[in-house]
Amino acid sequence: MENNTIKFVVEDGGTGPIYGSALASGLDVTAHKILKVFRGDREIDPENLKKVQEGFNERGYIKLRSLERILFGTGLYPALPENMELQVRARSGMALKRGLSVLNGPGTIDADYTGEIGIILYNSTPFLNKVEKDERIAQLVPAIVTRPDIELIRENGPIDQQRIWISGHDPYKDDRGEDGFGSTGT
C-alpha cells in the first residue's frame, strides 16, 4: 500500500489547508502574504513591494487593479509522497462572481518541491478587486502521478515513417493525423 499522507509545515500565523465540504476534492488555501506584484508587464520593485506587504498586513486586505497579477504566499510548505502531485486550481465562486482566476491553472506542485506554495491571482475585470488576508483563494487537488519510462527513437529516414513505427498507425489514414487545436470540432 502506498503512502497517501500529505504533510504541510505551516508558518506562524498561517492557516492549514482545509476541505470545504465532506466530499470536496480540493483543499482550500488562503492568502497569507504577498510575494510578488505585477502591473502590466512589470514587477514592482522591492521597495514598493515591501510597502504593499506592510499595507496588506495592517489593513487586512489588498485591492487588485484591473489586469494585475499578485503572487500570494500561503504560508504552507508541502511534503508529498513520491507518487503524488498537488494541482492548483481556481475557486469557482471567485472566478464567476469576482473575475479572479488562478493563472497557470491548473498549476502543478511536484513531489520534490518543498518551498512555500504560492498562488497567482489575476483580476480579469476592469474594477478593483479586494482580497482579504486569510481569505480562501485557491484549492489544491491531490493527484496520483505515474512516471513511465521514456524511450527516444532516433531513426534515419522520413519522420512520417518513424511516427508510424512508434504509434502503430498511419496518421495519413485516419481522420485526425496531425490536426490539433479545434480539429475535432467545437
Segment 86-140, tens digit of pLDDT: 999 999 999 999 999 999 889 999 999 999 999 999 999 999 999 999 999 999 9
For 105, the domain range is 7-144
Cell of 62: 489588498
The one-letter code for the residue type at 22 is A
Residue 171 lies in a domain: no
Spatial neighbors of 76 by CB under 8 A, at least 6 apart, are 8, 9, 10, 11, 14, 16, 17, 29, 32, 116, 117
Q: In the block, which residue shows the cell 493563472? A: 103
* CATH assignment of the domain containing 102: 2.70.40.10
Q: How far apart are CA 137 and CA 35, in angstroms?
A: 15
Question: Which of 43-47, 48-52, 160-164, 178-182 comes out lowest in average pLDDT?
Answer: 160-164
State yes or no: pLDDT of 3 exceeds 90: no
For the chain, how many structural domains are there in total?
A: 1
